[in-house]
Amino acid sequence: IFFNILVMIYETDDSAKCLDAGKTEDDCGETWLVVSNWILLSFYTFEVVVRFTAWHLAFFRSRWNWLDFIVVAVSVMGFVGGGPSGLKTLRILRAFRPLRVVKRLETLRNIVEAIFSSLKELGVLLIVFLLFLLIFALVFMMYLNGTLYACSDSDVWFYRDLHDPDYESVTLPLCLSAGAVASLKVVGSFSESALAWNASTGVCGEGDLAGFSINWARASPDTPICVARCDPFWREPFNSTYAAPAELCPRPYQTVEELPHTCSEKAAARPGRLTYSEEIGFLYIEKMQAQYVLPCGGSTAESFIGTDASETGEGWGEGLEEGSLDSSWAEAVGTPSERMSCRAQFCPNVNPDRTARCKYESESHPYFCADACRGGKASTGKCKSCRAEYVASCECPDFCTPLMKDAALCAEQGGSWEQVLSQNFDNVFNAMLALVEISTTEGWVDVMYAACDTSFAPYIQPLRDQNHAIWIVMFVLWILLSFMFLLNLGVGIIVDKFMEMRNQGKGTISPAQLRWIKSRMSLTTRPFIFNLENLHRLPLWRRKVYDIVEHSLFERTIMICIVLNTLLMACVCFPELETPDFEWWNSLMSVTNYTFAFVFAVEAILKLLALQQSYWKDSWNVFDFICVLATVIGIVLTASESGVNISSVASVVRIFRIARLFRLLKFKALRPLNKLFRSLAISLVKLANVGVVAVLFLILFSILGVNVFSTVSIDSETYNQHANFRHFINAFITLFRASTGEAWNEIMHDLHKDEADWFRAGSWCTPSALFDTETGYDILKEKCLIDNPNACVVDIFKGWVPLPWVYWVTYSLFMGLVIMNVVIAVILEGYEETKSSDEVTIIETCRTLWGDKYDPDHKMVVTFPQACRFIVEAINELQKDGSISGEKISIKVFPARTPNSSTGVDLSRFPLRFARALDITPRTFVTFEEATKQVVRFAAVVENPVIKNPVEEASKLMEDLDNCDQQVRTKEMQRLKLLEALKKPPTQVPGSPLFQHIAAMVVQRMAREALEKFRKKRQRYRMSTEVDDNDETAKAEIAQQHLLYMKCVARAVELGTRTGLAPPVAG
């Protein structure tokens, strides 16, 4: 009782947490949530105290108790205010406590135990998977790092268009502005006729280039140009550069009051709405969103003329005084382009140690200046200018992002160099994450085609199918290795563990006992054998109607009508064929619809007349009646012109009549398909238990997602109003959608956006530290940030946001690798059950044989001799069509009323080792259930393989079946006993069981055969040897033959006794 009360409390608490996550309730709702949480915390604390008082230190031996203790401690600290505020999030651990409910339900417990018991093997598989993942990630990173980028503007010309595919000399002329913040414009335009850049169409400082008066150009294609932007994560002392000037990068907002509002224009226009604090926030966002394309250092090739080492004895950067490195860049160099460079404006002061390190990197960088300084070009002006530009970008890495080659042309012409996809291979972690996404087959084709378009070097615009051959092979190889091999090994692990635990759950039940129980349960739980019994008592007209509706020709005619009706309804199209040329078609459709409606109505009427109350026993009849009733109502309403039109609804209902075609599965030709259908039906019942477990984990992940991501902005491409964690319902739907693999990785990447990503996209997000609904709820509400939250996901360090990665990868692997594989295990189990047992087919065959030949009036009883004939004939028929496997037994069935045949079958040919399967005793009448039990009992015995000793093993099987009711103590067995007790068999007459009669007949047959052999041998002996009656030799020979005969008889009796089939005393 204590446990069940707590379960109800846990469920209420789940609902409270689901409501609490959105943070959009009114004051009354917020108060109710606070009070309810206090009450629930009291119950949790009381539970822990009671259990600890009862068990003392033994309380901590259970993992569930540890979880309860941690949850209560964290909850108390969260309410009282002690400890870090982040500990309050751990209260979601209470959501895991409903898992204890599964211990009360055997079916759920087996599934959950199978899941958790397979985690060890899955962990080993995960290690192997990570090993291959690391190997492939290193290979992909080696060749694809920095290549999955492209220009966002389609109206941009690249080096392949400028006839400089080797990136040797072409650079674009640029004009720099001399304002407070420098910017640049390209001079001229591309001439498609000359296939070259035409720079004569513009002059710096004139016309469209007014205000851009400083001429500048990169020294070489691999000379970097910088994209300057502020870094929202710049913090001392973690960054390697000094702070940028405040006029370029102001301080971030530090209080909730400084956050900008997200209200509508009407709400924002209220008097006094825009405060000074909000102006700070708007200014900060404006500066963070701004970006500028600038020279990294502002040097040119001409600025290094005359500084060759051969002339001055100095290197390219050795002419500057050491002290100048700590001073302003504008004071150290005086050219206008250098003063307007990214380094001069954003990093006016640089650490000397960093400058020395950057100089060393510039001489060995694999991409920048590699072409300009190759060979003997290291002392040229181009090489020196290129390295000076790289050093300038390296000295200011937090604010200046260098680009070269096609990426530089894109930026110079006003484009933006961006990622092609959400995935990249720029480092080993990103490469591993991308390969994990690909292993789930989500978006892998897009990544493969993007890789096929890249070259083997970064900063180059992709060109379709540049390297398609090698990357198609690599990506297909990874899919085959990961998805089709490694991950599918998880299927084998889960299935093997599930089958192992299923077998453990069966205890000592043998396969024969299990099939015997299932067959009896299937027979006992059937709602009816025949839809109408005692046909001999019916009036003649009703009997004839019944014969009509039960005739196979009538059933096939209705099936054909259903198929034709469905095909005709499939011919309906939109818009309808209203033209006069197709009037005949509309008339034909109307006539056929009315015709089929009439046919189905007649069918229902005939069945109602024949079956009357029994008509409603069959669910198919109820379904047919609903279809007919809906059709008739639709026709009546349409004809009466009442204005109510339900003809379309009636048509849809009639379409579902096609489901009656499943009855065709009972025909022998479709029995293999019938097995598959029955395996699906069996699996659906068990899948309900798996569904409960899946829903439970969906709820757990939904609660976790709402607590972590509910306040994130939904203005992303995939994480939007259709897929989000704003409240529990949306979270549940989003996770269910992701469980099918639908764009889960794109949602993950949208949630992974940090503050800098939002600024680059032209938007912004509220830092998680400022989005505190407990202390600043009213202010956030006034700024419309409660109704339209836009909080950033919690970052660990300088924009590193691992929570979305951990959450989504864990969820995808758990749901895809574990839960979905349990579904496969359940389906395979259902298929194995239908493959190993065919009790439904056996019962249906017995039903058909009983009704057609032995009991046409459906009295449900026959005489004992008829039952014997029925049992043997059913066994022969089932073994003939393969429904009963194992050793083939052919027993002759005599025609009815054969002389000297009490049972009508030759039981003397029945194998003695299987005879005990037929334990029916003589009685006045035998019911259908009793006779069919003999058939399924025989099937349970004969289908078990006999390997070493056929007699002893068969005898052991018989004992298992005889003791089945006493040995098996499951709930299913108790229910079976109760159902069988309600069906008492007819009165028995004194006599021995059928298997003893079989033993007697077998012994008699063997004795007669031995006697016949003795007589024939004696007759041949007498004909070949003429002796008189006093011949002692002949008498000895005859005595010897008689002794041999008696030994044969004794051997036959011994055989019967050894199998436990002692012949009856008399008879």
Q: Distance between CA 873 and CA 878 in Å, rounded?
A: 9
* Among the ranges given (362-376, 521-535, 646-660, 822-836), the one the predictor scored with the smallest mean pLDDT: 646-660
How far CA 136 is from CA of 141, 286, 456, 484, in Å, comes to: 8, 42, 17, 16
297 near 389, Cβ under 8 Å?
yes
Q: Tell me the mean pLDDT in the region 243-250.
A: 85
DSSP per-residue letters across 286-354: HHHH-EEEEESS---SGGGTT--HHHHS--TT-SS-GGGGGS-HHHH---HHHHTSHHHHH-SS--HHH
Is the four-CA dihedral 429, 431, 434, 438 of positive or negative sign? negative
Beta strand extents in 15-171 (DSSP E only): 149-151
Sequence-distant (≥ 6) Cβ neighbours of residue 880 within 8 angstroms: none
Q: What angle do CA 59, 65, 71 make, to 5 degrees?
A: 130
pLDDT in tens, 879-917: 887 777 766 777 766 665 554 455 667 777 777 767 777
The predicted structure's pLDDT at residue 13 = 47
Q: Pick the residue with more confidence: 649 or 209?
A: 209
Q: Which is nearest to 572 in space by CA: 647, 671, 463, 489?
A: 647
Q: Return the percentage of the chain with pLDDT > 90, whole number.
A: 13
**Is the predicted pLDDT of residue 104 greater than 70, yes or no?**
no
Is the pLDDT at 268 greater than 70? The verdict is: no
What is residue 12's predicted lDDT score, i.e. its pLDDT? 43
Write down the mean pLDDT value for the chain.
77
Tell me the per-residue pLDDT of 334-353, one tens digit each, with 9 for 90 and over. Answer: 678 888 889 988 888 888 88
Cα separation, 359 vs 297, in Å, equals 13
What backbone phi and psi angles, to 5 degrees, belong to 958?
A: -60, -45
Task: Give residue 490's pLDDT.
Answer: 78
Q: pLDDT band at 316, cuts 50/70/90?
A: very low
Whether 878 shows a pLDDT value over 90: the answer reads no
- Is residue 216 within 8 A of residue 298, CB to CB? The reply is yes
Q: What's the pLDDT at 436? A: 92
Note the pLDDT of residue 632: 82
Flag whether pLDDT at 939 surpasses 90.
no
Read off the pLDDT of each residue in 428-442 and give the average, rounded to a whole number: 91
- Distance (Å, whole) CA 1036 – CA 1027: 12
Please state the φ and ψ torsions of residue 211, each to the nearest 5 degrees: 95, -15
What single-letter amino acid sits at 377? Answer: K
Give me the torsion for CA of 223, 226, 227, 228, rounded to 10°.
180
Arithmetic mean of pLDDT, 673-697: 76
492-510 pLDDT per residue, tens: 787 777 777 666 655 556 7
The pLDDT of residue 623 is 81
Nearest to 219 by CA among 347, 67, 369: 369
Q: How many residues does the chain have?
A: 1067
325 pLDDT tier (thresholds 50, 70, 90): very low
Tens of pLDDT, residue by residue over 34-86, are 666 677 778 778 888 888 888 877 888 776 677 677 767 766 766 655 445 44
Q: Which H or E element spans position 976? A: helix 971-981
563: buried, middle or exposed (CB in 10 Å: 19+, 13-18, 0-12)?
middle
Dihedral of the alpha carbons of 860, 864, 868, 871, in degrees to the nearest 10: 20
pLDDT of residue 150: 93
Tell me: pLDDT of 681 over 60: yes
End-to-end CA distance of the chain: 63
DSSP string of 363-404, one letter each residue: HH-SSTTTTTTSTT-TTSHHHHHHHHHHHHHHH-TTTEEEE-
389-403, 587-601, 1004-1018: segment of lowest average pLDDT: 1004-1018
Top pLDDT among 522 and 984 is at 522
Residues 6+ away with beta carbon under 8 Å from 1064: 992, 996, 997, 1000
Does 286 score more than 80 pLDDT? Answer: yes
* Rg, C-alpha atoms of the chain: 44
Alpha helices in 551-655 (DSSP H): 552-570, 583-611, 619-640, 647-655
Pull the structure tokens for residue 187. Answer: 């001079």
Has residue 658 got a pLDDT over 70?
no
Higher-scoring residue by pLDDT: 445, 656: 445
